[in-house]
């Protein structure tokens, strides 16, 4: 067995490294401070074919594989985890479910612009109750089927790119059966109201908002998959790609933090020598490197399984769990290597640490609730 990426993947990684350094890294701190989504960068990712890696060329995609997709997310996350997360959430929770479960009309009309990066796809998959500012419990999002239409009513507490996306993929409970179904909703649909964006610890330039739907009616054809499949259909399969995406981003965060800490250690001098020669610092850097490489191998294994059609539920869950924990550990140690400077925003490591902690939470999965322990223990 050769643990080596294909030449095409390495070429893609090289191109992405330059794009990330020259375009993405430049305004990462400012975007984080402003909690701003930069559509210019998103469109540039579309021009490079990144928004359509996993989709066939007939739908505006690049016809790539999952390993290429994870390599791209890692390179982006090395300089800006929010940018990587925007690409991942757009792909895994909006474009991919339309491709997998949408009818031919949805694929032609909605998937093509999403794959080309001319439109942004948002999603709300955690259909849970939420307490509003006044303490009242928000009404869960319900779907009522009537005469060829679906009527959506209620509140979705956590929607990716609320107010920014052109297309939303939303989970709602069927009023008749209580099962969860997934629907596609266009921005501007009558009755769609987006609340102000949430202020988060990490991934600050990836906006999330609560969305209120007041009698939104959509054609029944905008339901993804069959109504009888419930939560074991579209949403469970989205979880695989979502977990893998989160794992790849976590590896990128860890690698970026490791490189920043190593570069600082080689430049910072104490008592006439660089601190990189101090045993205590070497121990930290070595442990950080081991965790990062181990997490990367788990990500590649899970991606390979998805590409070859092998069972990947357990592999994706393990990769996500370990990579997220590794990212938190590595970024924490990186801050320690820099000492007081590690807490200063101009050195960026505090942003890496905040983003890593966010990736470890459900927000790293776009708010999707997944029984990760059960998946890890499955055989």
Q: For 232-377, CATH number?
A: 1.20.140.10
* Cα three-residue angle 127-129-132, rounded to 5 degrees: 130
Task: Give yes or no for a contact between 127 and 180, defined as CB atoms under 8 angstroms apart.
Answer: yes
- Complete DSSP assignment for 262-319: HHHHHH-EETTEEGGGSHHHHHHHHHHHHHHHHHHHHHHHHHHHHHHT---HHHHHHH
Give pLDDT, residue 324: 97
What's the pLDDT score for residue 167? Answer: 97
Domain ranges of the chain: 7-120, 124-229, 232-377
Q: What's the rounded Cα separation, in Å, for the pair 162 and 209?
A: 5
Strands (E), the chain: 121-124, 142-146, 149-160, 167-174, 180-186, 192-194, 208-219, 223-224, 269-270, 273-274
Specify the pLDDT at position 178: 84
Spatial CA neighbour of 102 closest among 240, 250, 223, 244: 223
Residue 98 to residue 343: CA distance in whole angstroms: 42
Query: CA angle, corner 133, sides to 131 and 135, nearest 5?
Result: 55
Residue with tokens 């209120």: 212
On whether the CB atoms of residues 278 and 206 are closer than 8 A, the answer is no
Q: What are phi and psi of 154, to 5 degrees?
A: 130, -165
> Which fold does the domain 7-120 belong to in CATH?
Butyryl-Coa Dehydrogenase, subunit A; domain 1 (1.10.540)
What is the structure's pLDDT at 1?
54
Q: How confident is the prediction along the chain (379 residues), in pLDDT tens digits per residue?
A: 567 788 889 899 999 999 999 999 999 999 999 999 999 999 999 999 999 999 999 999 999 999 999 999 999 999 999 999 999 999 999 999 999 999 999 999 999 999 999 999 999 986 554 544 444 455 788 999 888 899 999 998 889 999 999 999 999 989 888 888 899 999 999 999 999 999 999 999 999 999 999 999 999 999 997 654 444 455 667 889 999 999 999 999 999 999 999 999 998 888 888 888 898 999 999 999 999 999 999 999 999 999 999 999 999 999 999 999 999 999 999 999 999 898 888 888 999 999 999 999 988 888 777 777 778 887 6
pLDDT at position 133: 46
Fold for domain 124-229?
A: Butyryl-CoA Dehydrogenase, subunit A; domain 2 (2.40.110)
Strand partners, 154: 213
**Fold equal for 7-120 and 124-229:** no
HSE-up of 329 (CA within 13 Å, CB side)? Answer: 17
pLDDT at 64: 93
Alpha-carbon span 27 to 348, nearest angstrom: 12
Report the chain's terminal Cα–Cα distance, integer Å: 23
How high is the pLDDT of residue 134?
44
SS3 state at 184: strand
**Contact at 8 Å (CB) between 289 and 268?**
no
């Amino acid at each position: 067995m050769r643990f080596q990426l294909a030449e095409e993947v390495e070429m893609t990684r090289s191109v992405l490294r330059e794009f990330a350094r020259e375009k993405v890294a430049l305004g990462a701190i400012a975007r984080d401070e402003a909690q701003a989504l930069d559509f210019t960068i998103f469109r540039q990712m579309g021009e490079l074919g990144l928004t359509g890696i996993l989709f066939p060329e007939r739908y505006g995609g690049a016809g790539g594989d999952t390993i290429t997709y994870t390599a791209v997310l890692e390179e982006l996350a090395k300089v800006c985890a929010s940018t990587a997360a925007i690409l991942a959430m757009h792909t895994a929770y909006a474009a991919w479910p339309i491709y997998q479960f949408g009818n031919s009309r949805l694929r032609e009309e909605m998937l093509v612009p999403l794959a080309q990066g001319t439109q942004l796809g948002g999603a709300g998959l955690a259909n849970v109750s939420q307490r509003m500012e006044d303490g009242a419990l928000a009404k869960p999002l319900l779907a009522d089927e009537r005469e060829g239409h679906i009527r959506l009513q209620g509140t979705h507490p956590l929607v990716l790119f609320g107010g920014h996306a052109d297309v939303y993929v939303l989970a709602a409970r069927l009023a008749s059966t209580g099962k969860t179904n997934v629907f596609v909703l266009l921005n501007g649909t009558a009755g769609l109201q987006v609340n102000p964006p949430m202020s988060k610890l990490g991934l600050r330039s990836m906006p999330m908002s609560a969305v209120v739907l007041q009698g939104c009616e959509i054609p029944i054809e905008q339901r993804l998959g069959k109504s009888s499949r419930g939560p074991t259909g579209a949403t469970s399969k989205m979880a695989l790609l979502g977990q893998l995406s989160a794992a790849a981003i976590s590896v990128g965060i860890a690698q970026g933090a490791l490189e920043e800490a190593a570069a600082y250690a080689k430049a910072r001098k104490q008592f006439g020598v660089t601190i990189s020669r101090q045993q205590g610092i070497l121990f930290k850097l070595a442990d950080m490197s081991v965790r990062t490489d181990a997490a990367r191998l788990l990500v590649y294994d899970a991606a390979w399984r998805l590409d070859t059609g092998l069972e990947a539920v357990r592999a994706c869950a393990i990769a996500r769990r370990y990579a997220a924990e590794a990212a938190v550990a590595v970024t924490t140690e990186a801050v320690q290597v820099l000492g007081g400077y590690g807490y200063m925003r101009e050195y960026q490591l505090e942003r890496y640490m905040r983003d890593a902690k966010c990736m470890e939470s459900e927000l790293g999965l776009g708010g999707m609730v997944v029984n990760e322990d059960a998946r890890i223990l499955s055989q």
